[in-house]
């Protein structure tokens, strides 16, 4: 098993492969990390927070995460650094250490590269649900692209579905995109049943 060491950015909102997040950077440890990544075209890992917060003391994090690529950056009106990131490759966090300024560095093992799995006919309802969620979530001028395969459908739903974060987080350790969609259906069934009872 090949392992790599990468800097980690714990976030309350999970990042998934192919999805994007906009972040404001103000803590010195993350400014250093982002500056280094921009200089070297390097990457960092986003790990979902299980307990704790994004600022201050090191939180307890989920043992699975996603590498992030910086796709845009600018100085915001409030003077902070704003970055847009996109999720790339899933990894399992094996161990971690904390550097002098509080930056967490993790020893990670990368999951297999995702293989495109075509959208199935019986996923049309999930595709329609995603389209409705995207209309609510993204501004009218956003260039949202419908998913091209089952991987993208599952990850976009994981990002947008209004469910407890621990549920989407659990998908990060699942290799099979069809199994991810099956789990999403199970959540939806549970929500519908709870509303009917």
Over its C-alpha atoms, the chain yields an Rg (Å, rounded) of: 17
Which pLDDT value is given to residue 45? 97
User: CATH 1.20.58 in the chain, residues?
Assistant: 121-196
| Average pLDDT over all residues of the chain | 91
Specify the pTM. Answer: 0.91
Architecture of domain 3-110: Roll (2.30)
**DSSP bridge partners of 160:** none
Kind plus residue range of the DSSP H or E element containing 45: strand 44-51
User: CATH 2.30.130.40 in the chain, residues?
Assistant: 3-110
Asked whether residue 197 carries a pLDDT value surpassing 70, the answer given is: no
Joined tokens for residue 197: 């009872």
Give residue 1's pLDDT band: very low, low, confident or very high (50, 70, 90).
low
Which CATH code of 3.40.50, 1.10.3470, 1.20.58, 2.20.28 fits the domain covering 121-196?
1.20.58
What average pLDDT does range 53-72 have in this prediction?
A: 89
Asked whether residue 139 carries a pLDDT value surpassing 90, the answer given is: no
d(CA 98, CA 182): 37
Q: Maximum distance among all alpha carbons in the chain?
A: 55
Q: Express each pLDDT in 167-184 by its tens digit.
A: 899 999 999 999 999 999
**177-196 and 150-160 helices, crossing angle to 10°:** 40
Asked whether residue 67 carries a pLDDT value surpassing 70, the answer given is: yes
Question: What letter does residue 54 receive in the DSSP assignment?
Answer: S
């Amino acid at each position: 098993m090949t392992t790599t060491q990468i800097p980690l950015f714990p976030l309350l909102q999970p990042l998934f492969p192919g999805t994007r997040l906009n972040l404001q950077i103000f803590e010195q440890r993350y400014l250093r990390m982002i500056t280094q990544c921009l200089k070297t075209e390097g990457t960092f890992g986003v790990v979902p927070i299980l307990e704790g917060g994004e600022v201050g003391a090191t939180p307890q994090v989920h043992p699975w995460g996603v590498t992030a690529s910086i796709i845009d950056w600018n100085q915001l009106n409030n003077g902070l650094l704003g970055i847009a990131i996109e999720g790339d490759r899933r990894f399992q966090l094996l161990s971690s250490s904390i550097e002098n300024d509080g930056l967490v560095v993790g020893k990670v093992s990368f999951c297999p590269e995702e293989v495109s799995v075509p959208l199935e006919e019986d996923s049309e309802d999930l595709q329609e649900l995603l389209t409705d969620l995207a209309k609510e979530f993204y501004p009218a001028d956003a260039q949202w692209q419908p998913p091209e395969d089952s991987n993208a459908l599952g990850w976009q739903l994981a990002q947008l579905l209004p469910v407890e974060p621990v549920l989407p987080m659990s998908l990060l350790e699942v290799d099979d995109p069809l199994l991810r969609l099956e789990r999403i259906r199970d959540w939806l069934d549970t929500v519908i049943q709870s509303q009917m009872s």
